[in-house]
Amino acid sequence: MDKIIVQVIERQTLAKNIISLKLQPIHDQLPKWSAGAHVDIFLPDGQARQYSIINSYSDENCLLLGILVDENGRGGSVWIEQNATLGSELTVGKPRNHFEYLSANANHQVFIAGGIGITPLLPMIRQAEAENSDWELHYIGRSLENMAYVEDLKSYGNKVTFYPRDTTERPDFTQILDLHKSLTIYCCGPELLMDKVEELGHQFANITVISERFSAKPLTDDSGFDEFEVVFSYSGITAKVNREQSILEVAEAAGIYVSHSCSEGICGSCETPIISGQVIHRDSVLSEAERIASKTMMICISRANCSRLALDL
């Protein structure tokens, strides 16, 4: 069950340009998911957009999504805002998670959200609170009217700090956080915020940063070999990949089905096991440790750094 037909059973306006949709499958039971997961909504042209799941799997058989309607974006959120009306049907994919919450982690847990980046953090916060974990949230937005779930989050008292940019200064996390503690930071938001938070993880050995992007990282100049051979071991097919092609495009041309949606290395749906060969990882999904281990790759954007690459596909 790669795609699921759902019906919009509830719709609300959460903040300026932000709506929530409650989606219930028409025929199927939803697969399990964990805090931090996201789901694809498929558009009429077959493309997909990824949205974080706000509710927990233990809730009723439904998905709750928060969606920023971006009129300057690629058009997906505008289409959803116009067409996802009460009672309408949508097609979604299976929930996926590359932003796992480490519930057994004994470190002090810090959640940092920028704008709509609050959505994947909400189920993590609820789980942290239920487990009586030591946590805090720093939530940055353009203004309070642009920030969703503010009233809900106020119930956590001084564990939550809001930074509406029209009335407060941008937070300096080197001053705000106790950097002497062992911290696990979960961060989701704009690129500039993510870069600053991830830099803390590079500077301090006691800080672990786990992040999720809604847009791709800027690509590095290193794109691997201009041409290489790829062996699709499971399918028994060998093909050449040239400079203008992605491995995903070559696989599809060879008749190999690969689940994919973003083609930018941010959704994780095309993640493929590596059997042999060296890879230049250009995605925005894998952690540094996962890149070093190089057991999988996102074939929509990452490339071989060798003349012959073998994949379990």
Q: In this structure, is residue 219 part of a structural domain?
A: no
Instruction: Give the chain's mean pLDDT.
Output: 92
Are 205 and 130 contained in the same domain? yes
Q: What is the mean pLDDT of residues 265-279?
A: 91
Are 193 and 238 contained in the same domain? no
Q: In this structure, is residue 267 part of a structural domain?
A: yes
Residue 215 pLDDT class (50, 70, 90 cuts)? low
The pLDDT of residue 220:
66
- Token pair recorded at residue 142: 């353009």
Number of domains observed in the structure of the chain: 3
Residues 6+ apart with CB under 8 A from 32: 57, 95
Per-residue pLDDT at 219 exceeds 80: no
Domain boundary among 93, 120, 137: 93
CATH of the domain at 17: 2.40.30.10
Are 154 and 183 contained in the same domain? yes
Residues 6+ apart with CB under 8 A from 162: 139, 141, 144, 147, 150, 153, 168
Q: In this structure, is residue 80 part of a structural domain?
A: yes
The pLDDT of residue 182:
93
Cα→Cα distances 109→2, 53, 132, 187, Å: 34, 20, 11, 11
Determine the Cα–Cα distance for residues 235 and 251; give it in Å rounded to an integer. Answer: 10
CATH of the domain at 251: 3.10.20.30
Q: What are phi and psi of 41, to 5 degrees?
A: -110, 125
The pLDDT of residue 38:
93
Residue 128 pLDDT class (50, 70, 90 cuts)? very high
Are 89 and 118 contained in the same domain? no
Per-residue pLDDT at 13 exceeds 90: yes
Can you give the residue range of the structural domain that contains 167? 108-212
Q: In this structure, is residue 28 part of a structural domain?
A: yes
Q: In this structure, is residue 103 part of a structural domain?
A: no
Are 42 and 128 contained in the same domain? no
Q: What is the mean pLDDT of residues 163-186?
A: 93
Q: In this structure, is residue 99 part of a structural domain?
A: no
Are 54 and 87 contained in the same domain? yes
Domain boundary among 180, 212, 244: 212
CATH of the domain at 181: 3.40.50.80
The pLDDT of residue 64:
97
